[in-house]
Structure 1
Amino acid sequence: MRSRGVLAVLAAAVLFGTTGTAQELGPGGLDPLAVGAARVVLAGAVLFAVAQVSGAYRGTRFSWPVVVAGAVGVVAFQIGFFTGVRLSGVAVGTVVALGSGPVWAGIVEWLSTRRTPSARWLAATALAVAGVAVLTGGGTGVSWLGVAASLLAGLGYGVYTVAGSRLIAHGQRSHGAMGLMFGVGALVLVPMLIWRWPGGLDSTGGISIALYLALVPTVVAYLLFGAGLKVLPAATVATLTLAEPVVATALGVLVLGEEITAATVAGGLLVLGGLSLLALPARPEVALDRR
C-alpha cells in the first residue's frame, strides 16, 4: 500500500512538472495571475463535481476550519508562486517555493499533530532540497519581495498538504478532500480572475493552455496526490513532489531545447537520491511504532 502511495505521488509530480513547459508553449502575453486563478477556478469546479457525483460527501462529516485552512493554502500557493516567479525569475522563484514546501509541511504537520518528522524524512528532504537548489542554479538580481512571495507559496503548499491529510485521516475520501479545498479556493479566486481578465485567456491558445493546466497538472495530478495522502504522512508527500523540478528540467531540455549542464545532472541525482530514500520500504519496527 505504501509503495502505491509513493508511485501515485511521483506520478502527480510528473504531471506538476509539465506546467512550466505548457506555459512556454502557449501564446505570448498570458498574465500569470489570470492563468493561475483560471486554473484553480476550473479545477476546483471539476474536482468538487467529481466528488459530489461519486458520493464522497454522502454520510461523511468534515471540519470546516480545516477545509478553509486548506483552501487558504491553495490560494496562497497560487498567488505566492506566480508573484515570486514574476519578481525573482523562474529559477529563484521555483527553488524557494518548491524547496521550502516540504520544510513548511513538516513544520505545519508537527504543530498540528505533534508528530515529529522521522530521521529518514529529514535526511531525504535535505538531499532533495539541496538538489533543487543545484538544479535551478540561483540566478542574479534576486528580489527579496519575490523571495518572500515564494516562501508564502511554500507555506501555502505545506498548509493544504497537511489539511488534506487531516481531512482524509478523519474519514473523508481523498478526492473529496481535494474537491473541498480546491472548490472553496476557487470561490476565493473568482474575484482575482475577474480583476485580471482577460489576461490572454480570450484567445484559443490561452483557453487551451488554461484547460490543460486545470485538467491535467491540477485535476488528475491532485487526485493522484490525494491518493498518496491516504497512506503517507503529509511531510513525506511534500518531499516526494520535489521530483517536479527534475521533470520540468528534463522537459526543458527535451522539448524546449534548453542546455543540459553539470548542475542539471548533479541536482537531478541529489533529488532522486532523496526520493529513493523515502521510497525504501519501512522496517517492521518503524511500522509497529506508528501504530
Structure 2
Amino acid sequence: MKNTLPAFFILFAAICWGTTGTTQALAPDTAHPIAVGATRLAVGGSFLLIMVLLTGKLDLKNWPIKTTLVASICMALYQPFFFSAVTLTGVAIGTVVAIGSAPILSGAIEWIFLKKRPTQIWWYSTSLSILGCLLLFITKGSVQADPFGVLMAIGAGLTFACYTVVSRSLVERYSSLSVVAIVFILSAIFLAPLLFIFDMSWILSVSGVTTSLHLGIVATGVAYLLFAKGLAKVSSSTAVTLALAEPLTAAFLGVFFLGEKLTSTSWLGVILLLCGIGILIMKPQKSQSSKQVEEVL
C-alpha cells in the first residue's frame, strides 16, 4: 500500500480536477472561461502561499529560479490554451486532444531530454487510457475540428506535460507545498492582466464566490499539492497518464449533477480508462532519481 500511495495522491488530484467542468457549468453565465481560469490561479496561488507561510515551510535558499519560472509559465499558458481550444473546436475534441496528448508528450520529453525510455507497462496503460478518453468524449458535444483550436489543445497538452516534467525536478529537492505555492503565485501574477480585460462583476455573486473558491482551493490548491506529493515518487509520464482520471470524474459528475447520459460507447471508454489506470496502480514504477531538468533548460 505504501508503494502505491503516491499514485493515489495523483488520482485524488485528478478527481479534484474532474470537478472543474461541473463547477464552471454552475458558474454565472457572464463568467468568461479565460477569466475563470485566471481567477482560479489567483485564488489557488493565494491559498497555497498562505498555507506555506502558516506552516513555515517556505525556504528560498538556493532556490532554482530558472526552473521555477519555466514551471510557472507552463502553468500560466495552460489556462488560455485549454479554454481557447474548447471554445474554438468544442468540448469533445478540445478535451480529447489536450488530455490525450499530454501523456504522449510527457513520455517523449522524458525520453528525449532525460534519456528515460517509457516502460512497456506505461505504453499499455497510456494506450488504453487515451482510447478510453476518446470513446468517452466522442459522443459528447459538437464536433468541429477547427485547426487552430486543435493546435491550442496540443499547446495545452504540451504545457501540462512540460509543467509536470519540470516540477518533478523541484519536488525531488524541495517540499511539495513550497514548490506549488511559489509556482502558482507566479502563474497567477503572469495571468493577472487578464482580470482587467474581462468583465469580473460575476465574481461578486454567490455563485461567483462559490465557483472561485472551489476552483481555487479544491481544484487548484489541494489538487496540485497532492499531484506534487505523488510526483516526487512517480515518473512524470506515469503521473500524466494517471491524471486521465480527470475526464472519468467529470463524466460521472455530469451524469449525477448535470443530468447527462452516457452512451454504450462512453461506458466502454470508462472501462478502458479504469483498466489503463488500474495497470499503473497495480504495478507502480520504482522511484528513480532522474537528471535535473535544469541541465536541459
Fold match (TM-score > 0.5): yes
Which residue of structure 2 lines up, in the alignment, with residue 24 of structure 1? 25
Cα distance between partner residues in 2 of 1:25 and 1:108: 36
Q: State the SS of the aligned residue for 1:196.
A: coil
Cα distance between partner residues in 1 of 2:252 and 2:154: 25
Instruction: State which of 136, 139, 143 in structure 2 corresponds to 1:140.
Output: 143
Aligned length: 287
Which residue of structure 2 lines up, in the alignment, with residue 278 of structure 1? 280
Q: Structure 1 60/110 Cα, relative in aligned 2: closer, same or farther at 3 Å? A: farther
Which residue of structure 1 lines up, in the alignment, with residue 36 of structure 2? 35
TM-score, reference length from structure 1: 0.93
Which aligned pairs between 1:201-220 and structure 2 lie closer than 5 A? 201-220=203-222
Cα deviations across residues 199-249 of structure 1 (Å, max 9, x unaligned)? 632433222211111011111111111111111111111100101111101
Let me know the Cα RMSD of the aligned residues: 1.9
Which residue of structure 2 lines up, in the alignment, with residue 67 of structure 1? 68
Q: Is the contact between residue 78 and residue 155 of structure 2 (CA under 8 Å) also seen in structure 1?
A: yes
Cα distance between partner residues in 2 of 1:226 and 1:175: 8
> In the alignment, is residue 162 of structure 1 matched against residue 147 of structure 2?
no
Which aligned pairs between 1:220-235 and structure 2 lie closer than 5 A? 220-235=222-237
Q: Is the contact between residue 31 and residue 199 of structure 1 (CA under 8 Å) also seen in structure 2?
A: no
Q: Is the contact between residue 56 and residue 172 of structure 1 (CA under 8 Å) also seen in structure 2?
A: no
Query: What's the CA shift for 1:48?
Result: 2.4
Cα distance between partner residues in 2 of 1:175 and 1:150: 29
Q: Structure 1 281/176 Cα, relative in aligned 2: closer, same or farther at 3 Å? A: same
Structure 1 outlier segments of 4+, above 4 Å: 286-291
Which residue of structure 1 lines up, in the alignment, with residue 110 of structure 2? 109
Cα distance between partner residues in 2 of 1:258 and 1:25: 14
Q: Which is further off, 158-167 or 134-143?
A: 134-143
Query: What's the CA shift for 1:288?
Result: 9.4
Which aligned pairs between 1:166-185 and structure 2 lie closer than 5 A? 166-169=169-172, 171-185=173-187
Which residue of structure 2 lines up, in the alignment, with residue 51 of structure 1? 52
Q: Is the contact between residue 253 and residue 260 of structure 1 (CA under 8 Å) also seen in structure 2?
A: yes
AA in 2 matched with 1:21: T
Q: Is the contact between residue 110 and residue 117 of structure 1 (CA under 8 Å) also seen in structure 2?
A: yes
TM-score, reference length from structure 2: 0.91
Cα distance between partner residues in 1 of 2:161 and 2:40: 19
Gaps of 5+ in 1: none
Which residue of structure 1 lines up, in the alignment, with residue 269 of structure 2? 267
AA in 1 matched with 2:79: Q
Q: Structure 1 56/127 Cα, relative in aligned 2: closer, same or farther at 3 Å? A: same
Query: What's the CA shift for 1:107?
Result: 2.0
Which residue of structure 1 lines up, in the alignment, with residue 14 of structure 2? 13
Cα distance between partner residues in 1 of 2:61 and 2:215: 30
Gaps of 5+ in 2: 291-297
AA in 2 matched with 1:184: L
Which residue of structure 2 lines up, in the alignment, with residue 242 of structure 1? 244
